């Protein structure tokens, strides 16, 4: 019986094993713990802005191609499915809302859009004259929403830790309070609701 390394194909296996190790040599896992909470807030705010503009572009394309020239016009939804989720309607109201409540509302809002986005992704290819760009935008919108949701959950977890740990409470929360309120206004704004709700109904 021959040893495993003396078999004719063992050299190829060893080469594949070593090359695989070399490929993964400088790769590290994605750690969110190394990103400060303030930087994470900044990223979420930036991502929410780009997500808003992506949703607005998608809505505009849908509106131009389908809404204006079809029966959808007579079936304008009277109420958004997220209307029961309380979100600040003005900047002042956002500033008065507790940070934890604002984050919870935004996470709930993003959860509420998961199913409509899934349905939209499956419906876009069946529409007449739908473009690949429209499907790409729809997928990108869903992916960005999921990333926003994940990041907001991380922020909420860290914030809850700050509440539990009074030793850390006063330092970081004061620095980032305004950014959370800005984020809440961006994600919960009435314009985004109006822009996105029509294409899902």
Whether residue 99 contacts residue 173, with contact meaning beta carbons closer than 8 Å, is answered with yes
> Quick one: average pLDDT of 66-88?
70
Would you place residue 143 in the very low, low, confident or very high pLDDT band (cuts 50, 70, 90)? very high
Helix, strand or coil, per DSSP, at residue 9: coil
CATH number of 42-200: 1.20.1250.10
Residue 167: how many other CB atoms lie within 10 Å = 7
Is 187 or 82 the better-scoring residue by pLDDT?
A: 82
> Quick one: average pLDDT of 54-83?
73
Would you place residue 22 in the very low, low, confident or very high pLDDT band (cuts 50, 70, 90)? low
pLDDT of 25 over the 80 cut: no
Residue 181: how many other CB atoms lie within 10 Å = 20
Q: Where are the domains of the chain?
A: 42-200
Residue 24 has phi, psi (to 5 degrees) of -95, 5
Q: What is the mean pLDDT of the chain?
A: 73
Chain position carrying tokens 């961006």: 186
pLDDT of 147 over the 50 cut: yes
Report the b/e string of 68-83 with b at 16+ CB within 10 A.
Answer: eeeebeeeeeeebebe
Task: Round to whole Å and give the CA distance between 106 and 119.
Answer: 21
Helix, strand or coil, per DSSP, at residue 60: helix
CB contact set of 114 (below 8 Å; sequence gap of 6+): 142, 145, 146
């Amino acid at each position: 019986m021959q040893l495993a390394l003396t078999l004719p194909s063992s050299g190829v296996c060893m080469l594949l094993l070593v090359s695989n190790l070399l490929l993964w040599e400088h790769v590290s896992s994605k750690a969110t713990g190394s990103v400060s909470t303030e930087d994470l807030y900044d990223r979420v705010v930036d991502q929410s802005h780009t997500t808003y503009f992506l949703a607005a572009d998608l809505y505009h394309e849908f509106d131009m191609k389908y809404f204006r020239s079809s029966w959808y016009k007579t079936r304008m939804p009277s109420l958004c499915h997220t209307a029961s989720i309380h979100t600040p309607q003005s900047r002042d109201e956002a500033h008065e809302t507790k940070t934890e409540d604002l984050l919870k509302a935004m996470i709930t809002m993003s959860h509420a859009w998961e199913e409509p986005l899934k349905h939209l992704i499956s419906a876009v290819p069946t529409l007449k004259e739908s473009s690949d760009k429209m499907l790409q935008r729809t997928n990108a919108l869903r992916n960005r929403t999921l990333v926003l949701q994940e990041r907001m959950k991380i922020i909420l977890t860290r914030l809850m830790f700050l509440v539990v740990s009074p030793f850390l409470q006063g330092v970081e929360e004061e620095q980032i309070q305004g950014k959370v309120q800005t984020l809440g206004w961006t994600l919960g704004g009435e314009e985004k609701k109006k822009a996105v709700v029509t294409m899902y109904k």
